[in-house]
């Protein structure tokens, strides 16, 4: 195991941590399973696996892939139901998140939120968590990029916004699409086991943790450097 001095020396390249939202910053995945599980059962009663396939993707991409053609007319109704659902969601922080971000900032590490969520969803988050914006130096939403995860565009944009090489960044993700996005961008990838087991995340991430409780910049560096 590396000593603290060795960790500090080897971790100079970690300059930003880029966070996904659902299942990483806030524990909302079970709520979305409820919503999308119902929608998929309505329109694809024999395809429950679609609920897993859409995790981490933008609403635009979900519509393009699963609700186009004959189902395009259903999009307004789904959007209305989703907006109503999100307006009443709980946005509980993942345990340890606030302390971890404070520790990152004490070491001069930049933070960004990189989410497939859109502006209406984020307004619900801000109403529920007035302090939310202060946690991040930058916030990127689905309106900021053209390609949905697992495409790396969103994380490449986040790194570029800080003037950094993606290799200088750590991506925190929980979904397969998000993990693939971070890896394709060339970043180090930290997997949270809020949606999948550590063994399931291992092929797509460099380190796995259950949450941020008692997690620090030093532990991050020890696990990734």
Q: Closest Cα to residue 217, out of 137, 99, 127?
A: 99
Give the pTM. Answer: 0.86
CATH of domain 4-28+90-224: 3.40.50.1000
Angle CA(103)–CA(129)–CA(160) in degrees, nearest 5? 55
pLDDT, position 12: 56
Q: How far apart are CA 146 and CA 142, in angstroms?
A: 8
Distances (CA, A) of 43 to 37, 60, 63, 67, 99: 10, 17, 12, 9, 42
Kindly give, in sequence order, each residue whose CB lies less than 8 Å from that of residue 88, ignoring residues fewer than 6 positions away. none
pLDDT, position 11: 46
Give residue limits of the domains in the chain: 4-28+90-224, 29-87
Asked if the model's pLDDT at residue 114 lies above 80, the reply is yes
Q: Each residue of 118-165: pLDDT tens digit?
A: 999 999 999 999 999 999 999 999 999 999 999 999 999 999 999 999
Kindly give, in sequence order, each residue whose CB lies less than 8 Å from that of residue 175, ignoring residues fewer than 6 positions away. 20, 23, 55, 56, 149, 195, 196
Q: How far apart are CA 26 and CA 2, in angstroms?
A: 31
Q: How far apart are CA 156 and CA 185, in angstroms?
A: 6
The percent of residues in the chain predicted with pLDDT above 90, rounded, is 86
Q: How far apart are CA 164 and CA 171, in angstroms?
A: 13
pLDDT, position 225: 76
Under 8 Å between Cβ of 145 and 173: no
């Amino acid at each position: 195991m590396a000593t603290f001095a060795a960790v500090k020396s080897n971790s100079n390249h970690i300059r930003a941590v880029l966070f996904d939202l659902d299942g990483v910053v806030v524990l909302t995945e079970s709520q979305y399973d409820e919503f999308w599980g119902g929608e998929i059962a309505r329109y694809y009663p024999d395809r429950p696996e679609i609920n897993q396939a859409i995790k981490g993707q933008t609403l635009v991409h979900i519509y393009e892939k699963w609700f186009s053609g004959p189902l395009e007319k259903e999009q307004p109704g789904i959007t209305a139901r989703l907006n109503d659902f999100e307006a009443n969601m709980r946005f509980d922080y993942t345990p340890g998140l606030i302390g971890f971000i404070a520790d990152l900032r004490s070491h001069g590490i930049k933070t960004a939120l990189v989410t497939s969520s859109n502006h209406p969803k984020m307004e619900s988050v801000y109403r529920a968590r007035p302090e939310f914006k202060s946690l991040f130096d930058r916030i990127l939403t689905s309106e900021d990029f053209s390609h949905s995860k697992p495409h790396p565009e969103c994380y490449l944009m986040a790194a570029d916004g800080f003037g950094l090489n993606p290799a200088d960044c750590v991506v925190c993700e929980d979904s397969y699409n998000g993990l693939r996005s971070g890896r394709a961008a060339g970043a180090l990838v930290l997997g949270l086991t809020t949606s999948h087991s550590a063994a399931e995340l291992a092929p797509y991430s460099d380190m796995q943790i259950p949450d941020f409780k008692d997690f620090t910049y030093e532990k991050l560096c020890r696990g990734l450097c």
